[in-house]
């Protein structure tokens, strides 16, 4: 979907999910407990399996969820949606999307929200956010289901390095995960959402490849930390290593630092868009 100079600017806000929009891993908010595991023990076994069999850690946790569910409950899409509905969100998250959309419209910009997560798509779809359809796309790990509706195989497994492919899809407006158009050449100015119009919000090392890619191309990366624990160790390290441009508490309420920061970035993008239009008009007149 190649952009035309007269098109209204679009800003993509891309979010990690676990510990970015929610205080804990999604699996640790009911699912792990339901299969009789201590949360720490579950992740220890997942990591040991990944190391022993040289597995991707995400494939390891997906297998462990399926295997440990046997004899305890039906492991299908419906059960995952139900666990997703119980996920706790950070303060202000439920109201965030409508407020930011309205602000973008005020500034002459369309806002689109994307999830890029190593967590489970089904659980995210089960949250109040998924039910409201606030996300343009949810790029996350997911299962393939058999004729009986049971999860039997990974459909997608998204880890910290292959997360970056989705930024290129968003950049070009080629959102289908199997669309090879993402590899096509786009001239400068043709990208639907250039990296300069991207905001990436994440919390940890797993977000670094995306943050670095966004930074390198003139975009805006924001590290967030838990506003309750106020543990800033990860964001301090990321800012010192130039992985992120800004950091703030994951408090999504209006008037808080994150709200003001994102609105300031939108202001900048809006002004840049005005200048780009003026530049294009001057070029056209000079021809």
Give tens-digit pLDDT for 153-210. Answer: 999 999 988 999 999 999 999 999 999 999 999 988 899 999 999 999 999 888 999 9
**pLDDT band, residue 251 (cuts 50/70/90):** very high
Residue 232 or 189, more confident: 232
Predicted confidence (pLDDT) at residue 286 exceeds the cutoff of 70: no
- How does pLDDT run across 64-96, given as a tens digit for each residue? 999 999 988 899 999 999 999 999 999 999 999
- Within the chain, strands assigned E span 10-15, 110-120, 137-145, 151-156, 198-202, 220-225, 246-249
Predicted confidence (pLDDT) at residue 287 exceeds the cutoff of 70: no
pLDDT at 3: 74
In DSSP notation, 101-150 reads: HHHHHHTT-EEEEEEEEEEEHHHHHHSHHHHHT--SEEEEEEEEE-TTSB
Q: Which of 178, 179, 166 shows the shortest CA–CA distance to 140?
A: 166
Give the residues across from 113 on adjacent strands: 13
pLDDT at 5: 64
Predicted confidence (pLDDT) at residue 283 exceeds the cutoff of 70: no
> Residue 70's CB: how many other CB atoms inside 10 A?
9
- How does pLDDT run across 23-63, given as a tens digit for each residue? 999 999 999 999 999 999 999 999 999 999 999 999 999 99
pLDDT at 206: 85
Predicted confidence (pLDDT) at residue 281 exceeds the cutoff of 80: no
CA distance 225 to 248: 7
What are the tokens at 266? 């939108």
pTM: 0.93
pLDDT at 279: 47
- Give exposure, 113-141, as e/b (b: 16+ Cβ within 10 Å): bbbbbbbbbbbbbbbebbeeebbbbbbbb
Percentage of the residues of the chain whose pLDDT score is greater than 90: 84
CA distance 232 to 220: 19
Residue 203 phi, psi dihedral angles, 5° rounding: -125, -15
The pLDDT mean for the chain works out to 92
SS3 230: coil
Average pLDDT of the residues in 136-152: 96
Residue 132 phi, psi dihedral angles, 5° rounding: -80, -15
Predicted confidence (pLDDT) at residue 284 exceeds the cutoff of 80: no
> Residue 30's CB: how many other CB atoms inside 10 A?
16
- For the chain, how many helices (H) and strands (E)? 11, 7
């Amino acid at each position: 979907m190649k952009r035309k100079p007269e098109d209204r600017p679009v800003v993509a806000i891309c979010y990690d999910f676990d510990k970015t929009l929610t205080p804990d891993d999604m699996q640790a908010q009911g699912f792990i407990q339901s299969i009789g595991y201590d949360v720490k023990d579950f992740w220890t076994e997942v990591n040991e399996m990944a190391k022993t069999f040289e597995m991707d850690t995400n494939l390891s946790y997906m297998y462990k969820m399926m295997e440990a569910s046997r004899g305890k409950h039906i492991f299908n899409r419906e059960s995952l949606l139900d666990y997703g509905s119980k996920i706790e969100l950070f303060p202000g998250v439920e109201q965030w999307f409508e407020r930011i959309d309205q602000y973008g419209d005020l500034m002459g910009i369309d806002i689109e929200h994307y999830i890029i997560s190593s967590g489970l798509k089904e659980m995210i779809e089960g949250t109040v956010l998924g039910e409201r359809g606030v996300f343009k796309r949810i790029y996350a790990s997911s299962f393939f289901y058999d004729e009986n509706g049971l999860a039997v195989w990974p459909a997608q497994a998204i880890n910290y390095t292959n997360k970056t492919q989705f930024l290129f899809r968003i950049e070009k407006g080629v959102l289908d995960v199997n669309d090879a158009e993402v590899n096509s050449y786009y001239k400068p100015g043709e990208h639907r959402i250039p990296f300069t119009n991207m905001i990436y919000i994440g919390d940890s090392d797993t977000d670094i490849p995306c943050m670095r890619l966004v930074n390198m191309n003139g975009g805006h990366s924001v590290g967030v930390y838990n506003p309750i624990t106020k543990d800033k160790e990860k964001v301090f390290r990321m800012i010192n290593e130039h992985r992120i441009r800004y950091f703030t508490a994951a408090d999504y309420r209006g008037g808080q630092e994150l709200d003001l920061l994102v609105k300031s970035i939108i202001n900048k993008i809006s002004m840049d868009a005005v200048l780009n239009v003026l530049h294009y008009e001057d070029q056209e007149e000079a021809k």
